[in-house]
Structure 1
Amino acid sequence: MKLTVKGIEEGQPIPRTFAFGVPGDGEPMTLGPNHNPALHWTEIPQGTQSFAVVVCDPDVPGDATDANQEGKTLPESLSRVDFYHWVLVNVPAGTHRIDEGEAANGVTPRGKPPGKSSLGLEGVNSFTGFLAGDPDMEGTYGGYDGPCPPWNDELIHRYRFTVYALDVEALDLKGEFTGDEALGAMQGHILGQATVTGTYTLNPDLQP
């Protein structure tokens, strides 16, 4: 398979258009445009019956206690965990592209509902847990929400956009399923996959 993510080159910084958080005017971070980028995939394996799209940041600190705290930093040496930014399954076999802004066009405080959409079946992304307890933002975040790494992190984060070709028309997933649950359901059904990885940081000392 081959995947093109318009505006994102392999290993290069992700444009702020696609970010949940961007540098603010006089503040470390403010809400960004949060458009999903356009995806186009080709060279489809024979026998493909559906697709799945997963966007994952594998570089999120396992202990985020000091995240976005003045006078503190998150060292590169911290253990890191996966943070899912988009979990989409049951994309019809005839769909080979998703347009920019089709899954997200701006930050939606308190989130967007998961479930059936025009694209397929949307799971929940990791902002659901990350923003729990925030009186202005807490909610269930379905669909795409873009990069927003801690602005005091000394590590530049990677964002892996992956499309999977599957040999089943629909995965047996319901409700508020997560990225880990979607990947688990795909096991044994993946005919091919393609990934494009971009980078992003809000640390002013690391920005290009």
Structure 2
Amino acid sequence: MKLEVRGIEEGQPVPEKFAFGVFSEQDHMSFGPNRNPELVWEDAPEGTKSFVVIMFDPDVPSVAEDVNQEGKTVSKDLPRVDFFHWLLVDIPANVSRIPEGEDSDGVSPKGKEPGPAAFGVRGVNNYTQFLAGNPDMAGTYGGYDGPCPPWNDELLHHYHYEVHALDVETLGLSGEFDGNAVRDAMAGHVLASARVTGTYTLNPDLRS
């Protein structure tokens, strides 16, 4: 099975048009275009009944107290956890492409609705938790929201775009389901998978 994420080459930086946050000399970070990239996949195995799209960052600090704090850095040695940026399940077996900007085209303060969408069912990404304490941004973030790693993180972040071919038409998920729920529901049903990985940072010391 093959996956192409148009505009993102394996191991190369994710373009800013796909990012939730972009570098700013004045404020460290400003909102980006936040468009989902176009995904195209092929060679799904016989018996495929649906697809799942997952995008996640495995490099997110497990402790957030120093994140984006002036005069502090987030050590590259800090343990890291997965942060889900995009969850789309129950994509019909006859679909093999998601157009650019279809699931996100700009930052939506207070989030986007999860649930049925044009190409499947949206799950809830981890901006829901990350922005919960911000009164201007708090809400439920369904579908795609792109990279925005801490601007003071010593570690370059990696973004895994994945498509999984499943042997079931639906995972039976509804409501505000998250990435761990998707992984649990997929277990034992994955016929094939493909992945493209890009990188991103807002740390000026890593950008140069």
Q: TM-score, normalised by structure 2?
A: 0.99
Letter matched to residue 56 of structure 2: C
Alignment deviations for residues 53-111 of structure 1 (CA, whole Å, 9 cap, x no partner) = 00010000000110000000001100000000001100000000001000000000000
Q: Distance in 1 between matches of 2:137 and 2:23?
A: 18
Listed as ranges, the gaps of 5+ residues in structure 2 are none
Offset at residue 174 of structure 1 (A): 1.3
Q: Is 1:2 aligned to 2:2, yes or no?
A: yes
Question: How far has the Cα of 1:156 moved from its partner?
Answer: 0.4
Secondary structure of 1:183 counterpart: helix
Partner of 2:101: 101
Map of 2:74 onto structure 1: 74
1: CA distance between counterparts of 2:149 and 2:126? 12
Counterpart of 1:136 in structure 2 is 136
Note the 1:54-203 alignment, pairs <5 A.
54-203=54-203
Q: Secondary structure at the match of 1:29?
A: strand
- Report what 1:15 is aligned to: 15
Q: Which residue in the other structure is 1:51 paired with?
A: 51
Q: Distance in 1 between matches of 2:99 and 2:10?
A: 19
Following superposition, the deviation at residue 23 of structure 1 comes to 1.1
* Secondary structure of the structure 2 residue equivalent to 1:121: strand
**Matched-pair identity in %:** 61
- TM-aligned CA deviation for residue 24 of structure 1: 2.0
Structure 1 residue identity aligned to 2:148: C
Unaligned runs of 5+ in 1: none
CA distance in 2, matches of 1:40, 1:7: 12
- Find the aligned partners of 1:133 and 1:18 in 2 and give their Cα distance: 24
- What number of residue pairs does the alignment pair up? 208
CA drift of 1:25 comes to 4.8
Distance in 1 (CA, whole Å) between partners of 2:5 and 2:136 is 32
CA distance in 1, matches of 2:38, 2:175: 26
Which residue of structure 1 lines up, in the alignment, with residue 39 of structure 2?
Answer: 39
In structure 1, how many angstroms separate the alpha carbons of the residues matched to 2:101 and 2:39? 11
Deviations 1:4-43, CA, capped at 9 Å, x for gaps: 0001001110000000000125120000000000000001
Please list the CA deviations of residues 167-187 of structure 1 after superposition, one character each: whole Å capped at 9, or x if unmatched: 000111111000010011000
Query: What is the SS of the residue equivalent to 2:144?
Result: coil
Between the aligned partners of 2:56 and 2:181, the Cα distance in structure 1 is: 13
Name the TM-score, length of structure 1 as normaliser.
0.99
Q: Letter of the aligned partner of 1:54 in structure 2?
A: I
Runs of 4+ in 1 over 4 A off after TM superposition: none
